[in-house]
Structure 1
Amino acid sequence: MQLRANSPIFRATPPMSLLFVTAGAVSVTTKLQDGATPEVASMGREGLLGYELLLGARSLTNGYLMLGEGSGVSVPRRHLETLFQEDNEFRMRILELALAQTSVTKQLTACSLTHEADQRLARWLLSTSHHLGSRTVSVTQELISMLLGVRRTTVSLISKRYEREGLTRTRRGVMTILDRDALSARSCECCRTLVALNSSIYGQHQDAWNASHHTDSFPAGPVVHGIPDELQAQR
């Protein structure tokens, strides 16, 4: 199924179906009393949106926001709950995902407390680009400022600085990375740390997927690998 750009994934909670991401980047957010929804984690093709319901949560603990356009596979929650109880391989993949998301949240918390907005924007662009598999990120500066918890004017000023230095190009809600190496050098350590965390957690499952799909991109689908044939057929 196609997922609309810059839109919430789930409208009801708890949802009757959960979603395996097959393309695109998803921002995991939390809602504060003043209405702000900062990003606390992110997912790409390694993700199952709503996985926390398989771990015992009675409702979604976070929001899921599609960044740009994407696609996914919707599977009834009752099937996945049965699968989680009965299939050890699938259960292990979900636990790996939960561990990865907890690690990402911890890292982003430290990032927001200690790193400058300039570094954090570079990290966010690189991470989102990684998940998208594209140098182009179709997200407005207003949305980026909300996710990073900074003023829109701050994002605008930094973006203009990046453009002057040849790091990125911004055109009507679209940011394109021109010099990934230079942007990585501008980024804080967290981008490299997050890639290393995912690689250490997913390990051989990521390698197996990448080899079978002839790609070396950021983790692509280790959770989906845990779905038995009978559920794969429902895709």
Structure 2
Amino acid sequence: MDLPKAFLFQNRLLRTLSDSDLALIMPHADRVPLHVRQVLETAHQKIEYVYFLESGLGSVMAGKESGSAIEVGMFGRDGMSGTSLVQGDTESPFDCIIELEGDAIRISTEDFENAMRQSASLKNLMARYAHALGIQTTYTAWANAEITLEQRLARWILMVNDRIDDHHFRVTHEFIAMILGVRRAGITVALKLLEMRLLIKIQRREIFVLDWQGLIDLTKGGYGPAEVEYNRLIQTSTYSPVIGRSPAAV
């Protein structure tokens, strides 16, 4: 028996689509590499393309007039850029950049909007994902206001871990500091504290997750609710990885 066409993809949204919905997208799509700090969207400018990440990590960044910015949303193979298009807008109030390199299935805004006009099921799935990302953004705002930097960092590491194949990743202290909107020195201290708790290991500039449950407990509820809502909204399929599972369960 032939496998569904969706099985060819790592992106969970693409895997969830029916063959008929995929047929509306794929003739207009191509696979492109993604590089660290690559800009996918610029705030208040027209969105040119939608990216369904197959690997790597994207970050939605809210900026200030002073030039500083902070991450308000994260996505990888669980999602896509361009959620403003699903909500009837042609631009985003936020920047969108690449945190970890990878690759993506890219489709132009015009072709994506045409596909949604032709399929209610496609538009419905995209709308559910946009809602799930909004829930994640809400919990990120709560975490930024209510828990410590060490706890926020634990939550961020868990969210990255959900979206990569291996349970370790390379990223600079400077980049984490930019993402979390804090000073580099604070990140260095927080990472050392997590390592002293035996929750992570840092080796050769890579972060290794050692104790998934311990990291969750440290976040004091900052990690978990948004992940549950994602899995509810983007119904689990036979071929799709689940956001929020421990390394041993993947």
Q: TM-score, normalised by structure 1?
A: 0.82
Residues 170-185 of structure 1 aligned to structure 2 (within 5 Å):
170-171=202-203, 173-185=205-217
Do residues 29 (structure 1) and 56 (structure 2) align? no
C-alpha deviation, 1:161, in angstroms: 1.6
Do residues 42 (structure 1) and 59 (structure 2) align? no
> 1:11–1:95: structure 2 CA closer, same or farther, 3 Å change rule?
closer
Do residues 82 (structure 1) and 114 (structure 2) align? yes
> 1:59–1:5: structure 2 CA closer, same or farther, 3 Å change rule?
same
Answer yes or no: is the 8 Å Cα contact 1:133–1:217 preserved in 2: no
Answer yes or no: is the 8 Å Cα contact 2:86–2:123 preserved in 1: no
Structure 1 counterpart of 2:40, which letter? I
C-alpha deviation, 1:11, in angstroms: 6.6
Determine the structure 2 residue equivalent to 1:193. Answer: 225
C-alpha deviation, 1:167, in angstroms: 1.8
Deviations 1:112-171 (A, max 9, x none): 111111111100000111112331122211111121122211111111122223222224
Structure 1 CA distance for aligned equivalents of residues 140 and 196 of structure 2: 27
- Please state whether the residue corresponding to 2:57 is helix, strand or coil: strand
Structure 1 counterpart of 2:164, which letter? L
Answer yes or no: is the 8 Å Cα contact 1:4–1:69 preserved in 2: yes
Structure 1, 83-92 or 2-11: larger mean CA deviation? 2-11
Partner residue of 2:243 out of 213, 218, 230? 218
Determine the structure 2 residue equivalent to 1:14. Answer: 46
Determine the structure 2 residue equivalent to 1:95. Answer: 127
| Unmatched runs of 5 consecutive residues or more in structure 1 | 220-235
Answer yes or no: is the 8 Å Cα contact 2:62–2:95 preserved in 1: yes
Deviations 1:10-43 (A, max 9, x none): 4794243221111122111111111112011111
Answer yes or no: is the 8 Å Cα contact 1:8–1:63 preserved in 2: yes
Determine the structure 1 residue equivalent to 2:9. Answer: none
Answer yes or no: is the 8 Å Cα contact 1:3–1:9 preserved in 2: no
C-alpha deviation, 1:81, in angstroms: 0.9
Structure 1, 61-70 or 122-131: larger mean CA deviation? 61-70
- Please state whether the residue corresponding to 1:182 is helix, strand or coil: helix
Determine the structure 1 residue equivalent to 2:248. Answer: none
Deviations 1:164-221 (A, max 9, x none): 2322222454212122222222223121112111112213xxx21xx135xx4428xx
- Please state whether the residue corresponding to 1:212 is helix, strand or coil: coil
- Please state whether the residue corresponding to 1:132 is helix, strand or coil: coil
Residues paired across the two proteins, number: 212
Q: TM-score, normalised by structure 2?
A: 0.78
Structure 1 counterpart of 2:239, which letter? S
Determine the structure 1 residue equivalent to 2:154. Answer: 122
Answer yes or no: is the 8 Å Cα contact 1:25–1:42 preserved in 2: yes
Determine the structure 2 residue equivalent to 1:168. Answer: 200
Structure 2 counterpart of 1:218, which letter? I
| Unmatched runs of 5 consecutive residues or more in structure 2 | 1-31, 245-250
Structure 1 CA distance for aligned equivalents of residues 198 and 186 of structure 2: 18
Structure 1 counterpart of 2:147, which letter? H
Structure 2 CA distance for aligned equivalents of residues 77 and 104 of structure 1: 24
- Please state whether the residue corresponding to 1:30 is helix, strand or coil: strand
Partner residue of 1:52 out of 84, 95, 114? 84
Structure 2 counterpart of 1:153, which letter? A
